[in-house]
Amino acid sequence: VAYRYVLWVRSPPTLRYLRRGWASFLSFRNFRRFPTLVPRELVSNLALQTFIARRGPGRWLAHQAVFWGVVLATFITFPLTFGWISFEAAGAGSRYAVVVWGFRTITFDPVSVLGWAIFHALDVAAVLVIVGCAYFLWRRFRDREATTGQRFGYDFLPLVALVAISVTGLLLTLSSALLDGEGYEFLAIVHMATVVLTL
């Protein structure tokens, strides 16, 4: 990275571009706007992706579904995998406690709306990802604008991989909720292999 950066800066036009960029970044006018600029850009460009909304509501909703589905799954999976968050029985009743880094935080009834939301948050994330990816796959097959420049490795494979992860994750819930755990071990291995191959 350093070598390429030095090569890039050695050219007079890029050196001028670099100097002007730093001058603009360090200017008082931009410095005054900076405290609100970063939060505004994080909300509009990252969280809401308003630049995509200009291309159409369908694309924007699909992007939001995939983005928030993946973000939600990441924020749940990594803490659970590393043991930062766990669940344990709380007291004599059927309540559970959420344990974060060894400290009990909240308790909840597993058959309440909150309990359902906590235990099925990964399923919600999977449905969001499937809906968003389905829209993009539909566009890849039907929209002439999308079909002209698409490539298998960059356009189809990531979408299919996200769908495979989501479907195999939902199959785990299906097995445990409706099939009394039938085939759960096999589905868990398939799901883990799908995640690892995608990574």
Q: Over the stretch 156-182, which tens digit does the pLDDT of each residue have?
A: 888 999 999 999 999 999 998 888 888
Q: Which residues of 150-165 are buried (b: 16+ CB within 10 A; e: fewer)?
A: eeeeebeeebebbbbb
Instruction: Quote the pTM value.
Output: 0.75
Q: 9-44: per-residue pLDDT in tens?
A: 888 888 898 898 888 888 888 778 777 877 888 888
CB 122 within 8 A of CB 166: no
Is residue 7 over pLDDT 80?
yes
- Name the helix (H) or strand (E) containing 96: strand 96-100
- Name the helix (H) or strand (E) containing 86: strand 85-89
CA dihedral 146, 149, 151, 157 (to 10 degrees): -20
Q: Is the dihedral of CA 162, 71, 127, 43 positive or negative?
A: negative
Q: Among 15-29, 56-70, 114-128, where is mean pLDDT lowest?
A: 15-29
What per-residue confidence (pLDDT) applies to 24?
84
Report CA Rg, the chain.
23
Q: Among 47-61, 80-94, 139-153, 154-168, where is mean pLDDT lowest?
A: 139-153
Is residue 143 over pLDDT 80?
no
Determine what percent of the chain is predicted with pLDDT higher than 90: 36
What per-residue confidence (pLDDT) applies to 45?
84
What per-residue confidence (pLDDT) applies to 161?
92
Q: Is the dihedral of CA 168, 172, 177, 183 positive or negative?
A: positive
**Both tokens assigned to 57:** 């509501």
Angle (CA) 171-173-69 rounded to 5° is 85
**Both tokens assigned to 158:** 């990531």
Roughly how many angstroms between the first and final C-alpha of the chain, as a whole number? Answer: 23
Strand partners, 98: 87
DSSP class of residue 94?
A: S
| Most confident stretch, 69-73, 152-156, 178-182 | 69-73
What per-residue confidence (pLDDT) applies to 90?
82
